[in-house]
């Protein structure tokens, strides 16, 4: 699949007349919890040629490749591919956008060119907003919990889409740093030994083994933890008000340097 992904990325570059700077895995595979039929969620950052940025009408700053999109190479049914234009990515980086920061720390990198991504990684720690991260993960946990885990019977694989953001928010509270992507690393660091951790690890083993994990009775120990943590984190988030130095000029310079480097 890796070779196929690289072929798809190369084709996107040609079809859209862009340079891809970075491509990584962003979903359950990057979390370290894939099942046999998990999608490959490929996310990339790209840059246009100079003339694109000198037009009076702004162009679209996202490329999404649905499986039926007529690019020059067929897309595998398990492959989900989309990317952000660099200036868009830098504006989101300035706001400590959690999905973008996760991409930069993905353990599965398919492609990287030039120096821009390493520069962003170096800069991310000094401009990171814990408040932005906490609010993002808390809202994600609340939404997924409301949508998927309220009934007596639930799709228990959805627990991961609530547990991971809660554990990521706990990591930020504990360390004031960008949380790791791998779910197991979060579990080992945040959850103490006991019934809750045992239930989560059983669920994790079942998912990786390929169990369907369809509708089953909800797991009370996990639901209780989620409800308590959502309430606690909501109160904690209200106490956060840390100002970060504006990195706009640094990011402007990084953009200009990357534009020259990419099309040199």
Mean pLDDT of 26-44: 92
Q: In whole angstroms, how far apart are CA 91 and each of 167, 223, 240, 248?
A: 26, 36, 22, 8
Task: Say if residues 156 and 213 touch (Cβ distance below 8 Å).
Answer: yes
Bridge partners (DSSP) listed for residue 154 = 216
Radius of gyration over every alpha carbon of the chain, rounded to an integer in angstroms: 20
- Per-residue pLDDT tens over the stretch 126-150: 999 999 999 999 999 999 999 999 9
Q: In whole angstroms, how far apart are CA 245 and each of 88, 124, 209?
A: 19, 12, 46
Task: Say if residues 165 and 173 touch (Cβ distance below 8 Å).
Answer: no
Q: How far apart are the first and last CA of the chain?
A: 31
Return phi, psi of residue 110, to 5°. -90, -30
Span 2-126+246-262: which CATH code?
A: 3.30.460.10
Task: Say if residues 127 and 101 touch (Cβ distance below 8 Å).
Answer: no
- For 180, half-sphere exposure in the C-beta direction (CA atoms, 13 angstrom radius) is 13
Strand (E) positions, 86-164?
109-112, 153-155
Percentage of the chain exceeding pLDDT 90: 84
pLDDT score, position 214: 83
**Which residues are CB-contacts of 10 (< 8 A; sequence separation ≥ 6)?**
none
- Per-residue pLDDT tens over the stretch 159-213: 999 999 999 999 999 999 999 999 999 999 999 999 999 999 999 999 888 887 7
Average pLDDT across the chain, whole number: 93
- Per-residue pLDDT tens over the stretch 205-258: 998 888 877 899 999 999 999 999 999 999 999 999 878 889 999 999 999 999
pLDDT score, position 11: 94
């Amino acid at each position: 699949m890796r070779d196929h992904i690289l072929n798809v990325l190369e084709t996107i570059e040609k079809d859209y007349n862009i340079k891809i700077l970075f491509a990584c895995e962003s979903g359950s595979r990057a979390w370290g919890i894939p099942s046999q039929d998990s999608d490959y969620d490929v996310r990339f950052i790209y840059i246009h040629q100079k003339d694109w940025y000198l037009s009076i009408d702004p162009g679209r700053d996202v490329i999404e490749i649905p499986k039926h999109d007529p690019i020059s190479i067929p897309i595998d049914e398990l492959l989900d591919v989309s990317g952000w234009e660099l200036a868009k990515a830098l504006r989101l980086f300035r706001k400590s956008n959690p999905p973008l920061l996760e991409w930069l720390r993905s353990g599965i990198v398919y492609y990287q060119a030039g120096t821009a991504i390493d520069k962003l990684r170096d800069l991310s720690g000094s401009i990171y907003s814990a408040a932005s991260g906490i609010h993002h993960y808390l809202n994600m946990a609340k939404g997924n919990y409301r949508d998927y885990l309220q009934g007596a019977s639930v799709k228990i694989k959805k627990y991961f889409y609530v547990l991971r953001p809660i554990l990521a928010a706990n990591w930020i509270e504990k360390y004031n740093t960008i949380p790791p992507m791998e779910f197991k690393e979060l579990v080992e660091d945040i959850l103490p030994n006991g019934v809750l951790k045992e239930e989560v690890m059983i669920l994790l083993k079942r998912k990786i083994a390929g169990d369907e994990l369809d509708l089953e009775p909800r797991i009370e120990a996990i639901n209780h933890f989620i409800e308590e943590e959502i309430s606690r984190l909501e109160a904690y988030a209200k106490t956060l008000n840390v100002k970060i130095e504006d990195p706009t000029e640094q990011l402007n310079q990084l953009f200009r340097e990357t534009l020259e480097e990419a099309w040199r």
